[in-house]
Chain A
């Protein structure tokens, strides 16, 4: 009986939260299947729903969408590169600090936390200058590097906490079994860290995928900007094609949703692991 009451309570809680989060998405969807003139009619369902907007996007048939495919490719390329690079840096750093116990590891951890005292937006201009100095402006790598810079400290922190929870005897057993540090990393550490790594990799990937400010500053050419920046251009016009903006936005939101769905098993355990001492 107590369990039933509890379940009922949870369901009652879930309904408003679900509505709250789905309502905006529903409206985006509504916009995207409405024709331009009926977009602002205020109806909960358009009189003549149409998928034409999506066709326009796919065929790049609008002024703002002439480079849609290359821009979504840029987004994807940058997000994946940022995810992979962050993961590589954070995993090796966490391994060195937590397992190999290298000298100065604690200082690195503290520095990593310290970076978050400065809001990312403050760093945008210095970052722009730096990228300019290295001739990276308008290059996809500039955004990748910027995103890795922003994501790595948190990633190192979480992965370090997670790897602290692996029993140290495993390393000792492996050492006695004859493993070099590199073999220990590859054969014992990586397989056991996979759940946390999936979570952190996804975090960095989505951070880069969703990034607007840095993309806007560091990339400026139609061919090099990400879709997030391109979406921003829509609003620059006096007469914005809202239905296309929303349809593109919907397309843009699909990959993250797919990633979340695919890795949902790792997300909860990965993001909370290291948060509390088990």
Chain B
């Protein structure tokens, strides 16, 4: 187990700058998720930590030791790849034992570790099979077993669940989280899926365009997004956002008046982006007239796509709704849960 530290990390591919000075400290035993749209540099950052990419600038330290010029194999890390990258010609047992064999552990120790890891991951019946004889979920577990068996200082996961179907993904998500709670190994997990990030992380670093937009605990990011990008990236369905102007201590937009949280520092006449999450728009008893476009009953809750003037909104209401397409409804935005962002900079207005 070890802390990981990125200091002013930069990465250029020729003239293209991929990372613009990332600094991030990951505590010992922490589950850190790097999340962001594709091309934001999250995988590159992970691969630099793994030693698979050169570092153009800055320093990476694992457990206090700067590893910039240390080979992958000497960094004491283990990585789970999106494609699993299992050795196709080796059995599950051989796949898991490979790294131990290379570091010349005694065979009794190798056997013991492989068997114990297989036990943890329910892979014992499959130890003598080849990867091609396994299902996607089992392969995923072998890939994790290969990482666990080494007892490394840091686990690296590069989008490990994206090749699985939705149901299995949810199951594996829980499995990885449970595993982390059991092993308490420092983990860096890359994903583009904000749901994975929210459900698994101790802390999330939201990345965009080679920078960290915000770093924080999942619910911190959800409740107080630092800027428009994080606000719209975190949360599903996404936050509703539209343009407005500060007037008489509320926001005017889409031809009506929207309530704002108490104590905001926005000034009269300031152009803002008004953000409100779908679950913070109640149906009925409010000030905003809307027309229902689509109703999606999910059982426990109902998702409605509505229009205020020409702007589409998503509304999530608990329980069932009797509204149908074409119906006119009144929305009641929750003032305390509304978010204000400066229209020009996109930054949160406290």
Which of A169, A177, A187 meets B73, CB within 8 Å?
A: A177
Please tell me if the beta carbons of A177 and B146 are within 8 angstroms of each other in the complex.
yes
* Docked complex Cα distance between A175 and B99 (Å): 9
Q: A177-B98, A177-B146, A192-B89 are in contact. Are A172 and B81 (CB under 8 A)?
A: yes
* Docked complex Cα distance between A167 and B51 (Å): 18
Please tell me if the beta carbons of A176 and B98 are within 8 angstroms of each other in the complex.
no
> Shortest Cβ distance from B91 into chain A, in angstroms?
12
Which of B50, B82, B86 meets A176, CB within 8 Å?
A: B50
Please tell me if the beta carbons of B78 and A170 are within 8 angstroms of each other in the complex.
no
* Docked complex Cα distance between A170 and B52 (Å): 12
Check B188 for interface membership: any CB of A closer than 8 A.
Answer: no
Please tell me if the beta carbons of B77 and A176 are within 8 angstroms of each other in the complex.
yes
Q: Which of A158-180 contact B (CB under 8 A)?
A: 167, 169-170, 172-180
Which residues of A have CB within 8 Å of B83?
Answer: 167, 169
Which residues of B have CB within 8 Å of A178?
Answer: 73, 99, 102-103
Please tell me if the beta carbons of A172 and B85 are within 8 angstroms of each other in the complex.
yes
Q: Which of A170-222 contact B (CB under 8 A)?
A: 170, 172-180, 183, 187-188, 191-192
Q: For chain A, what secondary structure do more than half of its interface residues adopt (helix, strand, loop), or is it mixed?
A: helix
Which residues of A have CB within 8 Å of B85?
Answer: 167, 169-170, 172-173
Which residues of A have CB within 8 Å of B88?
Answer: 192
Which residues of B have CB within 8 Å of A173?
Answer: 79, 81, 85-87, 146
How many residues on chain B are close to A (CB under 8 Å)?
Answer: 23
Which residues of A have CB within 8 Å of B81?
Answer: 169, 172-173
Please tell me if the beta carbons of B102 and A177 are within 8 angstroms of each other in the complex.
yes
Check B56 for interface membership: any CB of A closer than 8 A.
Answer: no
Q: A177-B102, A178-B102, A178-B103 are in contact. Are A191 and B79 (CB under 8 A)?
A: no
Q: A167-B83, A172-B81, A176-B78 are in contact. Are A191 and B89 (CB under 8 A)?
A: yes
* Docked complex Cα distance between A176 and B88 (Å): 17
Q: Which of B37-96 contact A (CB under 8 A)?
A: 50-52, 71-73, 77-79, 81-83, 85-89
Which residues of A have CB within 8 Å of B102?
Answer: 177-179, 183
* Docked complex Cα distance between A191 and B51 (Å): 25
| CB within 8 Å: A-B pair count | 56
Q: Which of B116-146 contact A (CB under 8 A)?
A: 146
Which of B52, B89, B103 meets A175, CB within 8 Å?
A: B52
Which residues of B have CB within 8 Å of A169?
Answer: 81-83, 85
Chain B, Cβ-Cβ closest to A168 = B85
* Docked complex Cα distance between A176 and B85 (Å): 12
How many residues on chain A are close to B (CB under 8 Å)?
Answer: 17
Chain B, Cβ-Cβ closest to A171 = B85
Which residues of B have CB within 8 Å of A174?
Answer: 87, 98
> Shortest Cβ distance from B332 into chain A, in angstroms?
51
Which residues of B have CB within 8 Å of A179?
Answer: 73, 98, 102
Please tell me if the beta carbons of B87 and A170 are within 8 angstroms of each other in the complex.
yes
Which residues of A have CB within 8 Å of B71?
Answer: 175
Q: Which of B93-119 contact A (CB under 8 A)?
A: 98-99, 102-103
Which residues of B have CB within 8 Å of A188?
Answer: 87
* Docked complex Cα distance between A156 and B103 (Å): 32
Q: Which of A139-163 contact B (CB under 8 A)?
A: none
> Shortest Cβ distance from B136 into chain A, in angstroms?
16
Which residues of A have CB within 8 Å of B50?
Answer: 172, 176
Which residues of A have CB within 8 Å of B52?
Answer: 172, 175-176
Q: Considering residues A177, A183, A187, A192, which has the most beta carbons from chain B within 10 angstroms of its beta carbon?
A: A177
Chain B, Cβ-Cβ closest to A166 = B88
Please tell me if the beta carbons of B89 and A177 are within 8 angstroms of each other in the complex.
no
* Docked complex Cα distance between A134 and B52 (Å): 46
> Shortest Cβ distance from A196 into chain B, in angstroms?
14
> Shortest Cβ distance from A68 into chain B, in angstroms?
42
Which residues of A have CB within 8 Å of B51?
Answer: 175-176
* Docked complex Cα distance between A176 and B146 (Å): 11
Please tell me if the beta carbons of A175 and B72 are within 8 angstroms of each other in the complex.
yes
Please tell me if the beta carbons of B72 and A176 are within 8 angstroms of each other in the complex.
yes
* Docked complex Cα distance between A188 and B99 (Å): 12
* Docked complex Cα distance between A167 and B103 (Å): 24
* Docked complex Cα distance between A177 and B87 (Å): 11
Which residues of A have CB within 8 Å of B79?
Answer: 172-173, 176
* Docked complex Cα distance between A272 and B83 (Å): 25
Which residues of B have CB within 8 Å of A180?
Answer: 73
* Docked complex Cα distance between A176 and B74 (Å): 8
> Shortest Cβ distance from B50 into chain A, in angstroms?
6
Chain A, Cβ-Cβ closest to B158 = A169
Chain A, Cβ-Cβ closest to B156 = A176
Which residues of A have CB within 8 Å of B103?
Answer: 178
Please tell me if the beta carbons of A175 and B87 are within 8 angstroms of each other in the complex.
no
Which residues of B have CB within 8 Å of A167?
Answer: 83, 85
> Shortest Cβ distance from B156 into chain A, in angstroms?
8
Which residues of A have CB within 8 Å of B82?
Answer: 169
* Docked complex Cα distance between A89 and B38 (Å): 40
* Docked complex Cα distance between A170 and B51 (Å): 15
Which residues of B have CB within 8 Å of A175?
Answer: 51-52, 71-73
| A–B pairs, 16, beta carbons within 8 Å | A167-B83, A169-B82, A170-B87, A173-B85, A175-B51, A175-B72, A175-B73, A176-B50, A176-B77, A176-B79, A177-B73, A178-B102, A179-B102, A187-B98, A188-B87, A192-B88
Going nearest first, the 3 A-B pairs with the smallest beta carbon separation are A169-B85, A177-B99, A178-B73
Tell me the B residues contacting A by CB distance below 8 Å: 50-52, 71-73, 77-79, 81-83, 85-89, 98-99, 102-103, 146, 150
Given A172-B81, A175-B71, output 4 extra A-B contacts at Cβ < 8 Å.
Answer: A173-B81, A176-B77, A177-B99, A192-B89
Tell me the A residues contacting B by CB distance below 8 Å: 167, 169-170, 172-180, 183, 187-188, 191-192
